[in-house]
Amino acid sequence: MDSYIDMPVAPRAQDARRTESIKLYGRDAFEGMRRAGALTATCLDGVSDLISHGTPLAEINAFVLDFAATHGATPATLGYKGYEYACCTSVNHVVCHGLPNEKKLRDGDIVNVDVTLVLDGWHGDSSRMYAVGKPKRAAERLVRIAHEAMMRGIGAVRPGARLGDIGHAIQSYAESERCSVVRDFCGHGIGQVFHDSPNILNFGRAGTGPELREGMIFTVEPMVNLGRAEVKVLVDDWTAVTRDRSLSAQFEHSIGVTAEGFEIFTLSPKGLHAPGIEIRATPE
Ligand code: MF3
Ligand code: CO
Ligand code: CO
């Protein structure tokens, strides 16, 4: 299975000091990530206008391609390990890496769009859920839980905290809502490399793992299922789906560790954190 956990990482020392293979970045890198992250977030804001009944997923791919080209960026996924698209589009029980093919969105669908734009060498990696029309209550609830899970993971980030605190915050919240967390994929270090060390697991024990330090840059991207955690990859070798065909949802931000806590590089300029779905400040 093509999981980031098994993936060899290729650390580069450029522009970075290294501690136990987790790079520490300075001001210029944060500025580069801010610009790449803002561009990716603006692209995801634009995607929301395309989300309606009958839109082929390929149209989302075409939009991302064009957006990147007109903004001096390149989609990192294009040609990545043989992947042929500018984004991933994962509908309903698709967990991640759904292919933006001719399949059409339908009323009631929930879809994750995952975009990574490279601007001046820096990777802005983010994904959001979108709702087509009015999804069922269970689907809306799952989307809200996935977003809250990501934000709780990010909320655990500050110098002195441990990597395991992030996974613990995500897992304990998602499971308290009777959902499950996918184990086969994880967040990752990011910067001038798309998938760098460390792996950011979406489960774990508080107080374990390497200590977080100011200057680290990585993604937080939990996948949360309504049913069981198990996934399988379809014969296309990319599309990951829930084994029990239950709904799955994911959000992703690229973030940096700051002296005070964290900075999110991929916040929506339009405030469209989860278009079409009201995200409540506190869980039900
Ligand atoms: N953007 C995904 C991530 O969050 C990676 C997709 S790799 C692809 O890390 F090849 F499937 F596009
Ligand atoms: Co990512
Ligand atoms: Co991504």
Q: What are the tens digits of pLDDT across the range 151-187?
A: 999 999 999 999 999 999 999 999 999 999 999 999 9
What is the 24 CA–ligand 2 centroid distance (Å)? 18
| pLDDT(7) > 50 | no
| pLDDT(275) > 60 | no
Please give the pLDDT value at position 200.
98
**21 compared with 209, residue with greater pLDDT:** 209
| pLDDT(43) > 60 | yes
What is the 192 CA–ligand 2 centroid distance (Å)? 13
Using a 6 Å cutoff on CB, does residue 25 contact ligand 1?
A: no
Please give the pLDDT value at position 276.
52
Using a 6 Å cutoff on CB, does residue 123 contact ligand 1?
A: no
Give the percent of the chain with pLDDT over 90.
Answer: 88
Domains (range + CATH), the chain: 22-264 (3.90.230.10)
Using a 6 Å cutoff on CB, does residue 253 contact ligand 1?
A: no
Please give the pLDDT value at position 188.
98
Ligand approaching nearest to the C-alpha of 254? 2
Please give the pLDDT value at position 234.
98
What is the 284 CA–ligand 1 centroid distance (Å)? 31
Residue type, 276: G
| pLDDT(260) > 60 | yes
Query: Can you tell me the distance from the alpha carbon of 143 to that of 222, in angstroms, rounded to the nearest whole number?
Result: 11
| pLDDT(3) > 90 | no
Please give the pLDDT value at position 80.
98
pTM: 0.92
Please give the pLDDT value at position 273.
82
Sign of the CA dihedral with 204 first, then 163, 31, and 87 last: negative
Query: Can you tell me the distance from the alpha carbon of 90 to that of 101, in angstroms, rounded to the nearest whole number?
Result: 11
Determine which residue's CA is closest to atom 2 belonging to ligand 1.
114
Using a 6 Å cutoff on CB, does residue 239 contact ligand 1?
A: no
What is the 77 CA–ligand 1 centroid distance (Å)? 6
Using a 6 Å cutoff on CB, does residue 89 contact ligand 1?
A: no
Encode pLDDT of 92-144 as tens digits. 999 999 999 999 999 999 999 999 999 999 999 999 999 999 999 999 999 99
Ligand approaching nearest to the C-alpha of 128? 3
